[in-house]
Structure 1
Amino acid sequence: MSETQFQITRRQMLAGTGASAAALTLPGCAAAGQAVTESANAATGAGGQAAAEALLEQVAWNLLELQPERATGLGVDTGEYAYLRGQLEDTSPAGKAKLRDQLFIDRQRVRSFPREGLDIDTVTNLDVVESGYDVALAGLDLPYGDIPVGSWRTAPYVVIQNAGAYLDLPRFMDATHPLRDAADVEAYLSRLSQVPSVLEGERIRIANARLQSVVPPDFLLAKATGQMRTTLLDAQEGGALLEPLLKSELPAATTASRQAKDIITSRIAPALEAQLAELFAQQKVATGAPGISTRPGGEEWYQWALRSSTTTNLTADEIHRQGLEELRLLHDRMDPILREIGYTSGTVGERMQALGADPRYKFSEGDEGREEIFAFIDERIDWIRAQMPRAFNTLVDPNLEVRRIPPAEEVGAPGAYGGAGSKDGTIPGRFWINLRTTDLHRKYDLADLTYHETIPGHVWEGEYSNRLPLIRSILAFNPFSEGWALYGEQLADELGAYDDFKVGRLGYLQSLAFRACRMVVDTGLHSKGWSRERAVNFFVERNGSKAQEVASEVDRYCSWPGQATGYKLGHSRIVDLRDRTQRELGKAYDLKAFNDAVILGGNAPMDVLAKNVERYIASARG
């Protein structure tokens, strides 16, 4: 759809339905909602294709209105939507209720839109939105927690060691909010002025959860209170939220920094103190039970979290069994390589522990080792980028940077994470690496981590999603995102990444086995009554993982139930679909065409992905 067509539609929507979204479903008010569809149909004079595209665009902006940080991350808060750059999401109970109402309205509109006469891409887009909103609405009906809308963080505890504005906003304001001109500075100040309300909205919700006896485990609260103390002390001096203005060379930023410091020290710091006081109140009643199923409504919460994290209806028992079987098969592949390089005694896990202790594969300690890690990552990115024409017909060229996870976050953060840049390319895709200690990483496992987070993994995949209609760039599904990133690791191996470095292939296989362990451990914690210690030991003993790394990993699973199960499940689904494609196409099978079919179809639930591959098989047959 052209920009002109969309602007007309958007203005109609704002005039007719913006102040009363319920007009689309409530009696007597349906005409306002029908106006957009009818005008779009009239504009095309035919079958509804333009109307469907207009609806999808409208649904996207309805969501961005309520989650404006996403608009900034996508680089679409420009022109008539530049005002979004000065806004933050309403985290209060009322804000979450408003989000639920809007999703319900838009889900109904998408569900009822006739598919006849639409092109297949538009049908897919409508199906993806309906599926994503179905899951989100089921989550928003739960009595507590932060519910992702086409995202991955299933968080029953709104503020904890790896969730909450006290962590998210300093990183967002530094890495994502632009400071290119005076208008950006004004928007920065506007957002700063809203931070106290964001923090207070969260505080109300976690206090309400405590009244329902929903309190995080004591070991997570210990991490969270320590981190929040650090954030509070920093805010009392201006700190991280002030730093982007101080680093800017804009004259407006210099002037604004004085006002910003006052906002931070006199308003944000007290709001952080209030959150910290609530966390202390929670500590007084917290227990060490790690699983969400021990909390009120926890079993229902976990069932939903598995649905959200896998986009399937698999049960915890089914996922647990699949994880154990996947782990066995991967260890069968690792065993002969270990024997070939001289590790012949003990279980695969014990031998991988011995390998991890080998000084040949460690990085130096301290800043010297951190520089070695950055250089290693850069070299691997250069190599894999050059291989992409061998794996894809349709190529992208990601704007990409590697950054250290902010030290204030590192204790509660995973070993790394990554994601795509903005739709307009101004914000790069990023690989965030945890460097609190260089001992988190080894020379045999850092390559596959790089491929996972960058190319052909998260950053690469995100470049394709950013070319899709706006709503498809917003919505992402855990098993596709993470399954594709693991498939990206597999592609790197198939392209020769470890042909001259067999120990590196062990690192790659251990990475896959690590994700199989996640399926076992996550379900163990939240469905089978496992202790935190048992979960850590499973990784260390069965897979030879580093205890220091998996302790934080297990804590992450405790605070994000279900999320960890989607990785290997999604990867296995993609590989199964590739195997099926090879069987059905025979000599007509082409790896690059298959990869294009998966990635050009966009980030989607598993059932939609299967439909995309089925259509590719049918077209390849002629």
Structure 2
Amino acid sequence: MSINRRHLLATAALFAVTPAARALAAAGASPLNAAFDDIFAAQLKRSPETTTSLGLDKDARAGAKSRLDDRSLASRYSDKADNLKYLALLKSVDRKSLTGLDAVNYDTVAYQMETQAEADRAFDYGPGGAGAPYVVSQLTGCYQALPDFLDSQHSIETKADADAYLARLEAFATALDQDTEQARYDGGHGVIPPDFALDKTLKQMTDLHDQTPDKAVLVQSVARRAAEKHIDGDYASQASAIWTGKVQPALARQIALMKDFRAKATHDAGVWRLPKGEDYYAASFKQWTTSTMSPEEVHKTGLDLLEQLSARMDEQLKAQGYTQGTVGERLRALYADPKFRYPDTDEGKEKLIADLNLKVKAVQAKLPAYFKTLPKQSVEIRRVPKYIEAGAPGGYYQGGALDGSRPGAYFINLRNTAEVPSWTLPTLTYHESIPGHHLQGALQQEADLPMIRKVMWFSAYGEGWALYAEQLADEMGMYDDDPMGRIGMLHDAAFRAVRLVVDSGLHHKRWTREQAIQFFVDKIGDPETSATTEVERYCVWPGQACSYMVGKINWLRLREVAKTKLGPKFDIREFHDAGLVSGATPLTVLDDVMAGYIKQKMV
């Protein structure tokens, strides 16, 4: 799930002073919850893209649907100033007077704002304080995000919707120039992506730029959808004129800057080479994981877990007749075995997605035994759009609209089916859909929470849950008749242990890109192409890859604590409810949530 974190945080203490909060407080309603409504409204006003992503832009005439977020360099500094102002207001609220969910809500927002403020004080580069140092890379920048946003999230039902699309298409050119402005500023201070990241960035950017109007996704999207709804107007012609007259020139200007960066770039992979680079990694790790583990602890934890998981994979591989070579070599042989590979054709990829839908249906039938509350929102499985699949990860989840008008979506990267053999697919599916991201995200959206909490995201909580869900699927019996799928589950757990080692290796121990890729291939057998994509991802999102295993370890620890303290009173359905319906939180707050659940059950 994705939100504009900085815009959300910049509004995060308005409840202390807003008129609506005062009015509702006088009427006897909770001033905190009343204020959160004001906070949410302010967030939507500042971020029209968030408004659309959440499905709250139905009236195109109201204006939000015609605009994109402000990405100017000036907005970076106004956001920082707003966060400090609102943090001071938040601190004026008497935390001791809050209990239960109010306390959880307060602590969650406060943690996010304080972490943001710490990073803002320390670093003057990147779009969000810490965690993503490069405004434009193969995984960051509006050139990478907005085409899919406009095609899949900007709905078109009326002429006003189609006209709003055209306005946003024109605004895309402005957004590109704003990203270029920020990237140029950061580049002047030595913040330039590594050469290999720029190579992939330039390929994706050039592929987008070179699309002729009759092939351009952003032109054909509005033309096709307007025609399907029988909306009057020559939208193909209007969109074509904007594409060639506005967007392509803005892309050309950004490409020129990236080429200039490429001539200056080094091959060094880690953020240690950036201004205050070691501190930046520590701040990024904290921001992504909500943990204070040291890089050395992270590295050692990854190595220890990898050793344990490799031993388990060795047993499972031998049981299936794979006995020769190291664990990594045997896994590599499984990747290369054509019997586990879908045809690399459109028909083969459609069959792959159909098979994954059957997996989702099967696991869904088992949910009532493990969860008291089940999501109402459905989930769809889709291909990663071809124009971003070169740099995109193997799979990711996109949350649905708050009003249910757009379902959750699990995107799978099918650029090459050799990278996703059949024995790896069940675990990826359980991670991204059910009981992983979709179940957690949909329950959060449907829970009795203030709107601001419904859309908040903490990577260690959410990715940790999805990784825990992979193991839970095994406990639910999803691999009882699928031993190769269980090997895939163990491989993916080892994959996340490798991430701890590689991420800290790149940014703390100053590993090279090639060293990190080789470690990946040697330990878990991944094809070099997919290992390369992973490593290059960690280079531009320092610390993010660690959030998965750090979060999973915490979920498992909390479950063991609950089992030990509650004994026969422990009910896994209640444990899951306690952790999920209170919404995404920092790990420290999740500890408090679970302590409250245990205390209540022990009465």
Q: CA deviation at 1:122?
A: 1.8
Residues 43-442 of structure 1 aligned to structure 2 (within 5 Å): 43-44=27-28, 50-78=30-58, 82-115=62-95, 118-141=98-121, 142-147=123-128, 154-234=131-211, 239-248=216-225, 249-252=228-231, 254-442=233-421
8 Å contact 1:405–1:434 — kept in the other structure? yes
Distance 1:607 1:254, change over 3 A: same
Counterparts of 2:498 and 2:546 in 1: how far apart (Å)? 9
Pair 1:577-2:561 in alignment: no
Instruction: Find the residue that maps to 1:497 and give its secondary structure.
Output: coil
Given residue 225 of structure 1, which amino acid in structure 2 is its aligned partner?
L
Name the % identity.
36
Q: CA deviation at 1:296?
A: 2.2
Given residue 577 of structure 2, which amino acid in structure 1 is its aligned partner?
D
Counterparts of 2:282 and 2:263 in 1: how far apart (Å)? 29
Q: CA deviation at 1:372?
A: 2.5
Aligned to 2:476: 495
Distance 1:81 1:488, change over 3 A: farther
Q: CA deviation at 1:247?
A: 1.3
Counterparts of 2:35 and 2:87 in 1: how far apart (Å)? 11
Q: CA deviation at 1:106?
A: 2.8
**Which stretch of the first structure deviates more once superposed, 94-103 or 417-426?**
94-103
Aligned to 2:5: none
Counterparts of 1:87 and 1:50 in 2: how far apart (Å)? 33
Distance 1:554 1:588, change over 3 A: same
Task: Show CA shifts across 1:9-51 (max 9, x none).
Answer: xxxxxxxxxxxx99x99xxxx9x9364543332121xxxx521
Pair 1:597-2:581 in alignment: no
Aligned to 2:4: none
Q: CA deviation at 1:115?
A: 3.8
**Which stretch of the first structure deviates more once superposed, 35-44 or 559-568?**
35-44
Task: Show CA shifts across 1:560-619 (max 9, x none).
Answer: 111101001101100010011101111111111111111112111101111111111111
8 Å contact 1:146–1:155 — kept in the other structure? yes
Counterparts of 1:82 and 1:438 in 2: how far apart (Å)? 44
Counterparts of 1:196 and 1:211 in 2: how far apart (Å)? 23
Aligned to 1:4: none
Q: Which of 588, 606, 612 is equivalent to 2:593? A: 612
Calculate the TM-score normalised by the size of structure 2. 0.93
Distance 1:79 1:264, change over 3 A: closer
Instruction: Find the residue that maps to 1:290 and give its secondary structure.
Output: coil
Given residue 55 of structure 2, which amino acid in structure 1 is its aligned partner?
G
8 Å contact 2:398–2:410 — kept in the other structure? yes
Q: CA deviation at 1:294?
A: 1.2
Q: CA deviation at 1:362?
A: 1.8
Pair 1:454-2:433 in alignment: yes
Aligned to 1:13: none
Distance 1:220 1:184, change over 3 A: same
Q: How many residues matched? A: 588
Aligned to 1:15: none
Counterparts of 1:82 and 1:379 in 2: how far apart (Å)? 41
Counterparts of 1:364 and 1:33 in 2: how far apart (Å)? 60
Task: Show CA shifts across 1:94-114 (max 9, x none).
Answer: 112222233233333333222
Given residue 162 of structure 1, which amino acid in structure 2 is its aligned partner?
L
Pair 1:526-2:507 in alignment: yes
Q: CA deviation at 1:64?
A: 2.5
**Which stretch of the first structure deviates more once superposed, 133-142 or 460-469?**
133-142
Counterparts of 1:265 and 1:36 in 2: how far apart (Å)? 46
8 Å contact 1:235–1:268 — kept in the other structure? no
Counterparts of 2:468 and 2:304 in 1: how far apart (Å)? 19
Given residue 314 of structure 2, which amino acid in structure 1 is its aligned partner?
D
Given residue 96 of structure 1, which amino acid in structure 2 is its aligned partner?
R
Q: CA deviation at 1:344?
A: 2.4
8 Å contact 1:235–1:269 — kept in the other structure? no
8 Å contact 2:379–2:409 — kept in the other structure? yes
Instruction: Find the residue that maps to 1:234 and give its secondary structure.
Output: coil
Instruction: Find the residue that maps to 1:178 and give its secondary structure.
Output: coil
8 Å contact 1:73–1:422 — kept in the other structure? yes
Instruction: Find the residue that maps to 2:511 and give its secondary structure.
Output: coil
**Unpaired runs of 5+ in structure 2?**
1-9
Instruction: Find the residue that maps to 2:477 and give its secondary structure.
Output: coil
Q: CA deviation at 1:519?
A: 0.7
8 Å contact 2:335–2:418 — kept in the other structure? no
8 Å contact 2:18–2:35 — kept in the other structure? no
Counterparts of 1:174 and 1:78 in 2: how far apart (Å)? 16
Calculate the TM-score normalised by the size of structure 1. 0.91
Counterparts of 2:64 and 2:212 in 1: how far apart (Å)? 25
**Which stretch of the first structure deviates more once superposed, 345-354 or 412-421?**
345-354
Given residue 569 of structure 2, which amino acid in structure 1 is its aligned partner?
A
Counterparts of 1:190 and 1:549 in 2: how far apart (Å)? 37
Given residue 42 of structure 1, which amino acid in structure 2 is its aligned partner?
A
**Which stretch of the first structure deviates more once superposed, 320-329 or 430-439?**
320-329
Q: CA deviation at 1:117?
A: 5.1
Task: Show CA shifts across 1:307-364 (max 9, x none).
Answer: 1110011121111111111111212222211121122233222222222223322222
Counterparts of 2:276 and 2:182 in 1: how far apart (Å)? 16
Counterparts of 2:180 and 2:392 in 1: how far apart (Å)? 22
8 Å contact 1:420–1:461 — kept in the other structure? no
Given residue 488 of structure 1, which amino acid in structure 2 is its aligned partner?
A
Given residue 121 of structure 1, which amino acid in structure 2 is its aligned partner?
L
8 Å contact 2:426–2:485 — kept in the other structure? yes
Given residue 199 of structure 2, which amino acid in structure 1 is its aligned partner?
A
Counterparts of 2:232 and 2:581 in 1: how far apart (Å)? 41
What is the root-mean-square deviation in Å for CA atoms of aligned residues?
A: 2.1
**Unpaired runs of 5+ in structure 1?**
1-20
